Amino acid sequence: MVEVKVLSGARSIGGNFIRIEDRDRALIFDQGLRFDIMERFYRGFIAPKGLRELREIGAAPRAEWYEGANAIYISHMHLDHLGLLSNIPSRTDVYLPSISIYEVLEEKWRDSPTWISLIPRKYYVEIEELSPLETDENNVMPLPVSHSAYPAYALLYFGSDENVLYTGDFRVEGFLKGEEFIKVHGGISMLEYLSENRDIRVDRLIIEGTNLGSTRAPISPAEEKAMLRRIFGAHTLIVATIHPLDLEYALFLSELASQAGRNMYLASEGAAKLMETAADLQAEPKVVADYVKTPSHFESVSLTDLKEDSILIASYHEIIDLLRDLRDAGALSEGSTTVLSEPEPRVEEAQEYEAIMNWFNNLGTQAYLMRASGHYYPHDLKTIMSTIKPKNVSIIHTRASRVSSI
């Protein structure tokens, strides 16, 4: 008999920990950090002392939650889902969306002087890579979804007496369509797959609800594309932030640079490594040497080599340093602007948000704040439910008070 336990994440955005027990099998879907708890206890000079403390305050999963687990599946590599792999207390197979992308990130994490160094796996953790639309030895099938992290999956478990679908984080409409989505993600999307395979029943749906109860405007990727085209047509140098896992948005910016006949520069290690994974970029970027110091197959230039009418991609954490360097180099003209693709939700990684806004004002740069959410909007629920047709539903990953089940 299948038993599903939501041990964390039911009333918080992030920190998901789903344990599925079925006869002699126990599986874990996600084991994320609780950033809402992290924010309450750690700021400025106050930092975590280690794993034990993070478990005690509830920011990291408890050790006993892992007991007897055959495998851990990670839907995507945002830290509120990936969590701290060093927190896994015993030998376990961990299935990741991408080993190559994880290893790039792991190298950076290990060298961090902060709690970030707790993320990488311990020696006894074996990692495997998820294969889209293939049922594995644990009866789990990863279904590709669009999200602001690449790659991202929903996880469908075929149980002894019921099937369980855990969506992870996803949006109904992404930046990629049709064959372009299949080429990047390795298969059709979760909703398209379930629509085409009506014989697959979903007895229990565990779905994220990040935007439920939120006042966030429902901006679609198509609408964001249209807005950015208007903005880019009115300014010379465009400085845009990007999350180091948001490949769909990176591909769109490359498309936009190509269509506008603009040069594209990368002033972010993460963005450079992300775009190196993509084939057939519409605009071949160049990397800014002071910000991308590891070898790259893209041509390297200095800040003083930047040409006008360009798109400059930065990380959220480095954009202020970059803008100050541009100012000092005399390259931050009155025609420059910034497009901040805000972290979502802000509690996950945006503790410096107010300071960033103050710097934009201090530097005299026009800033546009926008993001097509990586999560579906409330009005999408009708489409989702009519496609999946679940018997039972639990909505997690939300702060809304009245949506635990529908």
Report pLDDT digits (tens) over 278-287.
877 888 898 9
For the four alpha carbons of 70, 74, 80 and 84, in that order, the dihedral sign comes to: positive
Cis (ω within 30 of 0) for the bond into 285? no
Does 79 reside within a domain? yes
Q: Please tell me the predicted confidence (pLDDT) of residue 164.
A: 98
Amino acid (1-letter code) at residue 129: E
Q: Are residues 350 and 383 in the same domain?
A: no
pLDDT tens per residue, range 340-369: 886 666 555 555 777 888 888 888 888 888
Cα separation, 194 vs 109, whole angstroms = 37
Q: Are residues 93 and 226 in the same domain?
A: no
Q: Are residues 383 and 353 in the same domain?
A: no
Q: Read off the CATH number of the domain in which 241 is found.
A: 3.40.50.10710
Q: Please tell me the predicted confidence (pLDDT) of residue 347.
A: 55
Q: What is the number of structural domains in the chain? A: 2
Residue with tokens 């701290």: 84
Q: Please tell me the predicted confidence (pLDDT) of residue 401.
A: 65
Cα separation, 248 vs 261, whole angstroms = 20
Q: Are residues 329 and 385 in the same domain?
A: no
Q: Please tell me the predicted confidence (pLDDT) of residue 367.
A: 87
Whole-model pTM: value is 0.93
Q: Please tell me the predicted confidence (pLDDT) of residue 208.
A: 96
Direct distance between the N- and C-terminal alpha carbons of the chain, in angstroms, rounded to an integer:
23
Over its length of 406 residues, how does the chain's per-residue pLDDT go in tens digits?
Answer: 999 999 999 989 889 999 999 999 999 999 999 999 998 999 878 999 999 999 999 999 999 999 999 999 999 999 999 999 999 999 999 999 999 999 989 988 998 999 999 999 999 999 999 999 999 999 999 999 999 999 999 999 999 999 999 999 999 999 999 999 999 999 999 999 999 999 999 999 999 999 998 888 898 999 999 998 898 888 888 999 988 899 999 999 999 888 888 899 999 988 888 888 887 788 889 899 989 888 888 999 988 888 878 899 998 888 999 999 989 988 887 778 899 886 666 555 555 777 888 888 888 888 888 888 999 999 999 999 999 999 999 999 998 765 544 5
Q: Please tell me the predicted confidence (pLDDT) of residue 405.
A: 43
Q: Are residues 124 and 151 in the same domain?
A: yes
DSSP 342: -
Q: Please tell me the predicted confidence (pLDDT) of residue 294.
A: 83
Cα separation, 153 vs 175, whole angstroms = 16
Q: Are residues 175 and 311 in the same domain?
A: no
Q: Please tell me the predicted confidence (pLDDT) of residue 404.
A: 42
Q: What percent of the chain has pLDDT over 90?
A: 64
> Which pair of tokens denotes residue 139?
């009866």
Cα separation, 332 vs 8, whole angstroms = 45
Does 402 reside within a domain? no
Q: Are residues 74 and 203 in the same domain?
A: yes
**Contact in structure between 96 and 128 (CB atoms under 8 Å):** yes
Q: Which structural domain range is residue 272 located in?
A: 221-369
